[in-house]
Amino acid sequence: MTGFVYILANKRNGTLYAGVTSDLEGRMHDHRNGLTPGFATKYGCDRLVWLERRPNIVLAIRREKSLKDYKRAWKLDLIAKLNPNWDDLTDSIHVIDNPYKPKAGSRWSELYE
């Protein structure tokens, strides 16, 4: 089952929230309608500004944990590379090319072929 790692914002360069799910469309519905109490709802983070597909939820969870270790400036740069205008990507979930590409020959590359 595919996993998604994502970053939400409340506005351009605003508050950021990193999350993980196997159903990004459903999760965005929950975020948009305040159905998930917590940080994202409290701070109005409902704009999908960055996402990454992983081949399974375990790898997605690992990636989310690593994202949370990085400083804000690194996350802003990550967003700028995929989405320089900070557009809401919710309607583009299935058409955005996955930005994560492991190096050829690495132990992860076979999962993404």
Please report the domains of the chain, with CATH numbers, ordered by start residue: 3-112 (3.40.1440)
Q: Which residue in 62, 21, 105 sits closest to 8, CA to CA?
A: 21
Residues 20, 103: Cα–Cα separation, whole Å: 23
pLDDT the model gives residue 95: 80
Q: Calculate the average pLDDT of the chain.
A: 89
Say what the pLDDT of residue 112 is.
53
Lowest-confidence pick of 51-60, 82-91, 104-113:
104-113
Residue 53, Cβ density class (10 Å: 0-12 exposed, 13-18 middle, ≥19 buried): buried
Q: Please give the pLDDT value at position 94.
A: 81
Higher pLDDT pick, 97 / 107:
97
The kind and range of the H/E element at 62 are helix 57-69
pLDDT at 104: 67
pLDDT of residue 93: 87
* Contact present, 52 and 99 (Cβ < 8 Å): yes
> Is the pLDDT confidence value at 77 over 60?
yes
Q: What residues contact residue 41 under an 8 Å CB cut-off, 6+ apart?
A: 31, 34
